[in-house]
Every structure is written in structure tokens, then in C-alpha cells.
Amino acid sequence: MTTSSAAVEKVMLMAPVIPVLVIEDIEHALPIAEALVAGGLPALEVTLRTDCAIEAIKVMKQVPGAVVGAGTVLTPADLARSIDAGAEFIVSPGLTPKLAEAAARSGIPFLPGTANASDVMFALEMGFDRLKFFPAMAAGGPSALKAISAPLAAAKFCPTGGVTIDNAPDWLALDAVLCVGGSWMVPKGKPDVAAIEEAARTAARLAR
């Protein structure tokens, strides 16, 4: 395992679930982060899908115990502004040569997206063996990842996309899966912090 792999694996092993967050109102960022961390989910992925995402990373980093990363990182420019905001890990839906090279140069823990065997082989060729499997359910579900990972045993995964509290155990039962990514803990709208914390506690208790 490379130094980079060890760094991102440390993030993946913090809890069975990495919350995938779409922050639409910056005022929601702090209470959401506090509730998730209190519930036992310290690694938080803030997706770059909203105008306030970069600011949300900065705000969430104020929460003791939070390890805040950036998701939906598509380009070297996205990578750079995420790192500038203080992101501690990076997640992308796929992988391009330019993004792979920029991530490798930065040295930041990086979880690139893969959806099939060719994607995984390309990621391994570029030096990344801790990977996101996305879109997890649409790409074939646990049975597909089990088949893909069998001949590519060096790779370990965080399935994301369609993962729920109900199917998460099926993913976590796979030897190739270290954690899952999910958004079910934080519904849209004004955050109900008590409900978010309870959902986080339930997710944090998932076996793997």
C-alpha cells in the first residue's frame, strides 16, 4: 500500500458511512456537521454542487473531530480550490488523466470514482487503489462490485449512489468494501439536528 493509499484508507475506516452532503444554505452547514460528528460520523464529504460548498467546507472544519473533504471534484481547478478551502480529502465521480496527475502532485488523500473493471484498472495504473464505486446501485449493486473486485484484489472501495440504511449492510459485507457513502442521514430542507444525529448513530453502528 502506498502512502497515499494509507492516508485515504484512514479516512475510509473512521466510520462505516461517509455522509455525502449537498449544502444549499450556508446556515445549515455548522448544525449538520455538529449533528453528524456527535452521532459518530466524523468524515464528511461536501459535494461541490452548490454555490456555498466551498464556504461550507470552511465552516464545517470548525467542528471538533470533523474531517471534512470535498466531493464532486471534476477538474484540477476544483481540486485546487478545495485544498485552498482546507479540504482534508477529495472525492470524484470518475477519473481523468489530468485530475489523477493533479491529485498525485498534491498528495491529498484522494478517492476517485470507478464504475467498471476498466475504470478500476485505469485507477490502479495511475497509482490509486482506494476507490469510490459510483453510481453504486445503477452500476449493478453489490453483486457487480463483488464480481469486479475478485480479479482486482488490490482495490478497496467506498460504494456511493443509491446506498441506503437498508442496503448498506449488503455492501459492507463485501471484503472489498471499507465503507459506504450516503446522503440518507441529511434530508433536504432545514436540518432537524436531533433526527440527523440519531440517523448518524444508527449508521455508525453498521457492521463491517
Active-site residues: which are they? 45, 132
Rounded CA-CA distance 84/64 in Å is 20
Q: Which three cell numbers stand for residue 198?
A: 440519531
Q: Which three cell numbers stand for residue 110?
A: 484522494
89 DSSP 8-state letter: S
Q: Which three cell numbers stand for residue 108?
A: 491529498
E strand or H helix that includes residue 59: helix 53-60
Q: Are 118 and 146 in contact (CB under 8 A)?
A: no
- In this structure, the strands spanning 130-133 and 156-159 are parallel
